[in-house]
């Protein structure tokens, strides 16, 4: 439907900077319409009265419609945000349909009520939908992150207003088409493309029951504060500055092979990027050399070329931000080992940056403390393992340890305060809870645990006659 808002967003291709489409942006009036539609579908419409099995059937049709568009969606997102095409096929092509299938299977055939004995009779415990969900997502894995909220929300019987980032505006049209083809009832999924000011109106709209936010810690603080004021449920999936800890007995080849996903996945535009690499002094030079040669050998170029392992940054603004951090590193005491600017081959088209490695970085340095969200890695020596494990960072999203002794690795995993942690590899498992400690957020997405985000419990006290025989 045509929005009331008159602002038009020009979508630019990350690899060329050229226009690839336009998207009409919503204004506060459109947000209000979307929330009202979601409210109506929940309170009056069919969705609020569906059984989990009926919802699972709709979700499976939605998954099939997305699968039919998987190739189109993955190509488009690669053009929008620079994600290498193979990765985009997994996260924007396969994952959204996979998540719908997964949550449909979890609720299909389940009962929303259970009865348990109580002191004076029995209690019926009901799992009810949390209500209208405002889902606010970033540009780095747009369709997978949208679906990490939509799929468990629909499974629990919620309705959704999705506000994607304008930096990846165009792929949401594919999502909307698929939902339409699958026959989602009107008002169940509403997509409003808007910037942060209009997004703020969604967060505080009186018709919203829960905010599911993924994005920066700075925005998360504002959104969390508003939700606190309104006593509105919220989950916050925020930024990170995670560390890989290489131990004395680590296998350098295993570590090197793991860098693709631990440090450089999606041109390091990944919240779980381990942009701090901690190595013992006895192995320090070897680790610096492994990271630097790996970074220098990454193939920087157009993300649609399957041979490319590092695409451009998602926007010119983001490129400037990443280059600003590189400059901060260059003017500090840190030692630039490889990279350090724009690749000469890039010319002036596309938002490319050289994969960059700094060694001897002081942990107080801004490039060790702040999330850069681009291929800029800091390698730091440590003296005692306890220092490395203490993980002196405001964030607590991800991390990994590299050791010949997996038992020791698991022991370290138990001690580090992060939401996810890898032993000799790092790979997000969509079947398990994912999220952050400390400044990396509140709550977990993915896995069966995510259903809790969209559930309200109600206890109904009744007579003992209700107890099953």
**Residue 315, burial from CB neighbour count under 10 angstroms (0-12, 13-18, 19+):** buried
Is 310 one of the annotated active-site residues of the chain? no
Q: What angle do CA 332, 354, 324 make, to 5 degrees?
A: 40
The distance of closest approach from Cβ of residue 382 to ligand NAD in the complex, given in angstroms and rounded to an integer, is: 24
- Based on DSSP, count helices (H) and strands (E) in the chain, helices before strands: 15, 20
Distance (Å, whole) CA 357 – CA 330: 11
Interaction between residue 222 and ligand NAD (CB under 6 A): yes
Bridge partners of residue 382, in order along the sequence = 280
**Residue (of 82, 60, 49, 69) closest to 353 by Cα position:** 82
The verdict on 165 binding ligand NAD (CB under 6 A) reads yes
CA atoms within 13 A on the CB side of 381: 12
Q: Report the Cα–Cα distance between both ends of the chain, in Å, rounded.
A: 53
- 374 lies in the site for ligand NAD, by CB under 6 A: no
Part of the chain binding ligand NAD (CB under 6 A), chosen from 117-125, 179-187, 238-246, 410-418:
238-246
Site for ligand NAD in 53-82 (CB under 6 A): none
Residue of 9, 36, 40, 196 that binds ligand NAD (CB under 6 A):
196
Instruction: Please give, one letter per residue, the 3-state secondary structure of 201-215.
Output: HHHCCCCCCEEEEEC
Tell whether residue 223 is a contact of ligand NAD (CB under 6 A). yes
Q: Residue-wise over 196-216: b if at least 16 C-beta within 10 A, else e? A: eebbbbbbebebbbbbbbbbe
Q: What tokens does 157 get?
A: 């019987």
User: Is residue 188 within the footprint of ligand NAD (CB under 6 A)?
Assistant: no
If one asks whether residue 136 binds ligand NAD (CB under 6 A), the answer comes out as yes
Among 21, 195, 447, 448, binds ligand NAD (CB under 6 A): 195
From the CB of 293, what's the least distance to ligand NAD, in Å?
27
Give the residue with the Cβ less far from ligand NAD, 152 or 239: 239
237 catalytic, yes or no?
yes
Q: Least CB distance from residue 40 to ligand NAD, whole Å?
A: 23
Q: Active site residue: 158, 227, 271, 310, which one?
A: 271
Nearest to 339 by CA among 330, 347, 349: 330
Q: Which residues pair with 24 in a beta bridge?
A: 8
DSSP-assigned beta bridge partners for residue 129: 455
The Cβ of residue 245 has, within 10 Å, a number of other Cβ atoms equal to: 26
**Binding span for ligand NAD by CB under 6 A among 172-180, 219-227, 241-249, 400-408:** 219-227
Check 13, 80, 89, 237 and give the catalytic one. Answer: 237
Which range of residues in 132-140, 181-189, 274-282, 342-350 is near ligand NAD by CB under 6 A?
132-140
The answer to whether 328 touches 301, Cβ cutoff 8 Å, is no
Specify the 3-state DSSP secondary structure of 385.
Answer: helix
Q: Cβ closer to ligand NAD: 86 or 433?
A: 433
Q: For ligand NAD, which stretch binds (CB under 6 A), given 112-120, 237-245, 332-340, 449-457?
A: 237-245
DSSP 89: I
Q: Give the integer Cα–Cα distance in Å for 216 and 199.
A: 14
Examine residue 219 and tell whether it contacts ligand NAD (CB under 6 A).
Answer: yes
Q: What angle do CA 336, 338, 339 make, to 5 degrees?
A: 100
Tokens 């747009």 belong to residue = 142
Whichever of 215 and 340 has its CB closer to ligand NAD, that residue is 215
Confirm or reject binding of residue 446 to ligand NAD (CB under 6 A).
Answer: no
Contact region with ligand NAD (CB under 6 A), list: 233-241, 286-294, 362-370, 452-460: 233-241
| Least distance CB 140 / ligand NAD (angstroms) | 5
How many residues are given for the chain? 469
Shortest reach from residue 445's CB to ligand NAD, in Å: 7
Candidates 103-111, 152-160, 214-222, 241-249 — which segment interacts with ligand NAD by CB under 6 A? 214-222
Query: In whole angstroms, how close is the CB of 373 to ligand NAD at the nearest point?
Result: 6
Q: By the criterion CB under 6 A, which residues form the site for ligand NAD?
A: 136-140, 145, 163-165, 195-196, 199-200, 203, 214-216, 219, 222-223, 237-240, 271, 371, 373, 397, 436, 441
- Indicate which residues carry an active-site annotation: 237, 271
């Amino acid at each position: 439907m045509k929005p009331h808002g008159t602002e038009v967003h020009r979508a630019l291709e990350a690899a060329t900077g050229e226009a690839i489409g336009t998207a009409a942006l919503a204004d506060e009036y459109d947000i209000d319409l979307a929330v009202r539609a979601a409210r109506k579908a929940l309170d009056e419409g069919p969705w609020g009265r569906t059984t989990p099995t009926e919802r699972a059937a709709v979700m499976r049709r939605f998954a099939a419609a997305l699968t039919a568009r998987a190739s189109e969606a993955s190509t488009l997102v690669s053009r929008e945000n620079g994600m290498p095409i193979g990765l985009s096929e997994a996260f924007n092509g396969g994952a959204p349909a996979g998540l719908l299938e997964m949550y449909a299977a979890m609720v299909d055939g389940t009962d929303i009520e259970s009865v348990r004995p109580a002191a004076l009779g029995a209690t019926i415990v009901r799992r009810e939908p949390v209500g209208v969900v405002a889902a606010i997502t970033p540009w780095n894995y747009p369709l997978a992150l949208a679906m990490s909220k939509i799929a468990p929300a629909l499974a629990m019987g919620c309705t959704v207003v999705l506000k994607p980032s304008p930096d990846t505006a165009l792929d949401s049209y594919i999502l909307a088409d698929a939902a339409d083809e699958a026959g989602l009832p009107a008002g169940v999924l509403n997509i409003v493309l808007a910037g942060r000011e209009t997004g703020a109106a969604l967060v505080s709209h009186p018709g919203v029951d829960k905010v599911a936010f993924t994005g920066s810690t700075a925005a998360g603080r504002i959104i969390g504060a508003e939700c606190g004021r309104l006593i509105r449920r919220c989950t916050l999936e925020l930024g990170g500055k995670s560390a890989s800890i290489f131990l004395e007995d680590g296998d350098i080849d295993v570590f090197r092979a793991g860098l693709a996903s631990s440090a450089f996945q999606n041109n390091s535009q990944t919240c779980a990027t381990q942009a701090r690499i901690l190595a013992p002094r006895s192995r320090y030079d070897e680790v610096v050399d492994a990271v630097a040669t790996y970074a220098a050998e990454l193939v920087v170029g157009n993300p649609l070329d399957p041979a490319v392992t590092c695409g451009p940054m998602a926007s010119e603004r983001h490129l400037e931000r990443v280059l600003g951090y590189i400059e901060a590193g260059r003017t500090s005491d840190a030692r630039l080992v490889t990279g350090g600017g724009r690749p000469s081959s890039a010319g002036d088209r596309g938002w490319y940056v050289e994969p960059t490695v700094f060694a001897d970085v002081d942990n107080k340095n801004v490039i060790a403390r702040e999330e850069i969200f681009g291929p800029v890695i800091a390698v730091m020596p440590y003296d005692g393992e306890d220092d490395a494990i203490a993980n002196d960072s405001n964030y607590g999203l991800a991390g990994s340890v590299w050791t010949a002794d997996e038992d020791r690795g698991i022991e370290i995993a138990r001690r580090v305060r992060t939401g996810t942690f890898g032993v000799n590899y790092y790979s997000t498992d969509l079947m398990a809870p994912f999220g952050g400690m400390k400044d990396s957020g509140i709550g977990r997405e993915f896995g069966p645990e995510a259903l809790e985000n969209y559930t309200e419990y109600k206890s109904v006290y009744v007579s003992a006659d209700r107890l099953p025989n």
